[in-house]
Amino acid sequence: MAEYLQAQGDRLRAARKALNLSQEDAAHLIGVSFKTYNSWENGKSEPRDSNWRKIEERLKVSAEEMRGEPPSLQIDRIETYLLAIMAHLGIEPDPAPSVLGDPPEGPIRRGGDTPPSGPGRSPRRTPGTAPRGTRS
């Protein structure tokens, strides 16, 4: 992990120097203390996600490139975001998902979606009501 943080710090240092900024200036732009920023460049700690967004905006760099994440960490991060999106949309995740698994069979339906009606399919009815054309 130390090598990963050091490499990340080296990329951060290069981005800062490309803008001709001192560590103090970069820390001020991002909104952190000099000590915090210095610990990032020296590979002693890593910025939080909120600070990565500030680094992207203010140093005009890609957080993914700065992080230099190994592919396994990128996949974990993407999977976390996808699960959050699915939960927001009311989509139940597959109980045994696989990384880049086979595509799902059939249409994906969100909670509350009604199944399509047509020949050979019966439309959804409200419980306690009679089918159309019949009297209750």
Q: What is the pLDDT of residues 28-74, one digit of tens each?
A: 999 999 999 999 999 999 999 899 999 989 988 888 788 876 556 66
The model's pTM? 0.50
d(CA 77, CA 25) in angstroms, rounded, equals 30
Phi, psi of 14 (to 5 degrees): -65, -40
Query: What pLDDT score was predicted for residue 81?
Result: 82
Query: What pLDDT score was predicted for residue 95?
Result: 66
The vertex-86 CA angle with 83 and 92, nearest 5°, equals: 95
Domains of the chain, start order? 2-67 (1.10.260.40)
d(CA 4, CA 35) in angstroms, rounded, equals 20
| Spatial CB neighbours of 47, under 8 Å, sequence gap ≥ 6 | 40, 55
Query: What pLDDT score was predicted for residue 120?
Result: 55
